[in-house]
């Protein structure tokens, strides 16, 4: 008698086979242990400057900020858990205070808080693009959270070539009369390349077509760009033209959560339709209080933003050689290596020289574009910046940025 199990593969064996494939390709991810000590990472006896975090302004390690915040907090204010979603009993007053402060800063009608940028991006798009009358036009390199939100929506999606305005305009011209709404989706600063979207030109396109909504993810620009640190849209003077502006609080703002700036009508709609908002226990009110403290102080942190800008310019200038064509326009600078194996070797070399950099490998980036991702920070000293430049420019495996960028855009 034949046993049905003879025709079935063990799910564990299947999963292990997939893990073995990742290991062979040098793309297996594991959780490593490292101790944080301010700006430094202590790992395997090495003390390394942390250039792999998103603490761009150095706020997460600023003890003076923590002390000042804690002086303002009473035992009553320390609420470690919301204990339910905001639609039940979790809507503590501090949530409204933060949303009011954000709306005021952006001179907008409203803001809505989310537990993370992933929750915001994966939840908002399915909520507002829930029928066949909507078309999503998304940049080829938008973040995975946006891609997942698009996949969960009922809308058709076309990915336009990265930052290619001609391609985008052709798609809009061809489809504008065929759909009730078109949602144009982009990041302001792209997380893996560090380049910027042509936001002003996108707004010009939007103004020509009344059925376009513009969705901009400012995850890596909030806190850093613009006179008040509100992001690239503030810097470009186009805030009133953005229908949905998403910012994260877990990067430069050194906290947790995310928010969307939008019209009151959109906010009311999202509260009723965004599943990650409806069915999630809200953020701890204590965390939101810290976010409010940081957001309230962001406009006064221009010195930190200027310091980061100066460091960024210095590193860009040093890397803009004939060997290395710099595609980044921001504090995020990819050192493109090519293969995953070479990227791992180069990351280890940088760590041996005191810089904690990690390899970014497929599927996070396309095949053949594995890289080290420099996340510059405002609390770098001049000496540290020069040492970093010396090590980065000595990287023998670097491909031309221009060549690797072309592969990324066309993949």
Residues 6+ apart with CB under 8 A from 293: 65, 69, 72
Active site annotation includes 353: no
User: Is position 251 annotated as part of the catalytic site?
Assistant: yes
Q: List, in order of start, the domains of the chain with CATH numbers.
A: 33-57+301-410 (3.90.1150.10), 78-299 (3.40.640.10)
Question: For residue 325, what pLDDT is reported?
Answer: 55
Q: pLDDT band at 9, cuts 50/70/90?
A: low
Dist. CA 49–CA 37, nearest whole Å: 10
What is the pLDDT, as a whole number, of residue 396? 55
Q: What is the pLDDT of residues 363-393, one digit of tens each?
A: 888 888 899 999 999 999 999 999 999 988 8
Question: Nearest CA to 258 among 146, 370, 127?
Answer: 146
Using DSSP's 3-state secondary structure scheme, residue 190 falls into: coil
Q: Which residue, chain included where needed, has tokens 């002086």?
A: 71
The pLDDT of residue 397 is above 60 = no
**Active-site entry in 55, 139, 196, 217:** 217
Q: b/e per residue, 112-135, with b = 16+ CB within 10 A?
A: bbbbbbbbbbbbbbbbbbeeeebb
Catalytic residue among 92, 162, 206, 220: 220
More confident residue, 268 or 45: 268
pLDDT at 321: 65
Q: How far apart are CA 220 and CA 218, in angstroms?
A: 6
Is 143 considered catalytic here?
Answer: yes
Q: pLDDT-derived band of residue 34, with 50, 70 and 90 as boundaries?
A: confident
**In 3-state terms, what secondary structure has residue 298?**
helix
Q: 80 exposed, middle or buried (CB, 10 Å; 0-12, 13-18, 19+)?
A: exposed
Q: Is 156 a catalytic residue?
A: no
pLDDT value of residue 403: 41
**Looking at residues 334-360, what average pLDDT do you find?**
91
Decide if pLDDT at 230 tops 60: yes
Per-residue model confidence as pLDDT tens digits over 134-163? 999 999 999 999 999 999 998 999 999 999
- The catalytically annotated residue of 187, 234, 235, 326 is 187
Which residue is catalytic, options 153, 191, 255, 340? Answer: 191
The SS3 assignment for 109 reads coil
User: Looking at per-residue confidence, does 5 or 405 come out higher?
Assistant: 5
220 is catalytic: yes
């Amino acid at each position: 008698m034949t046993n049905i199990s003879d025709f079935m593969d063990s799910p564990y064996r299947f999963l292990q086979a997939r893990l073995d494939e990742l290991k062979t390709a040098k793309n297996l991810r594991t959780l490593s242990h490292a101790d944080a000590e301010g700006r430094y990472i202590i790992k395997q006896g090495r003390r390394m400057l942390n250039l792999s975090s998103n603490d761009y302004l150095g706020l997460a390690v600023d003890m003076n900020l923590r002390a000042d915040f804690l002086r303002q907090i009473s035992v009553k204010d320390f609420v470690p858990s919301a204990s339910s979603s905001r639609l039940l009993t979790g809507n503590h007053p501090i949530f409204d205070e933060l949303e009011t402060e954000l709306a005021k800063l952006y001179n907008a009608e409203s803001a809505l808080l989310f537990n993370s940028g992933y929750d915001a991006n994966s939840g908002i798009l399915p909520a507002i693009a829930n029928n066949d009358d909507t078309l999503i036009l998304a940049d080829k390199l938008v973040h995975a959270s946006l891609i997942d939100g698009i996949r969960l929506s009922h809308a058709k999606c076309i990915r336009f070539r990265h930052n290619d305005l001609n391609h985008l305009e052709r798609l809009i011209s061809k489809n504008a009369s065929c759909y009730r709404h078109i949602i144009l989706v982009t990041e302001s600063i792209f997380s893996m390349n560090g380049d910027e979207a042509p936001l002003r030109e996108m707004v010009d396109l939007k103004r020509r077509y009344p059925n376009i909504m513009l969705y901009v993810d400012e995850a890596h620009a909030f806190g850093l760009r613009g006179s008040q640190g509100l992001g690239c849209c503030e810097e470009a003077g186009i805030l009133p033209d953005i229908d949905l502006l998403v910012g994260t609080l877990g990067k430069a703002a050194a906290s947790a959560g995310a928010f969307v700036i939008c019209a009151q009508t959109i906010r009311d709609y999202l509260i009723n339709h965004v599943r990650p908002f409806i069915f999630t226990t809200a953020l701890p009110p204590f965390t939101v209080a810290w976010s409010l403290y940081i957001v309230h102080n962001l406009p006064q942190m221009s010195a930190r933003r200027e310091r980061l800008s100066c460091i960024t310019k210095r590193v860009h200038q040093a890397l803009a050689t004939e060997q290395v064509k710099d595609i980044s326009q921001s504090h995020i600078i990819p050192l493109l290596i090519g293969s995953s194996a070479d990227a791992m070797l180069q990351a280890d070399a940088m760590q041996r020289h005191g810089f904690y950099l990690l390899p970014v490998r497929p599927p996070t980036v396309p095949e053949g574009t594995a890289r080290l991702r420099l996340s510059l920070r405002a609390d770098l000293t001049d000496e540290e910046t020069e040492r970093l430049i010396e090590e980065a420019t000595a990287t023998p495996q670097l491909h031309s940025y221009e060549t690797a960028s072309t592969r990324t855009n066309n993949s």
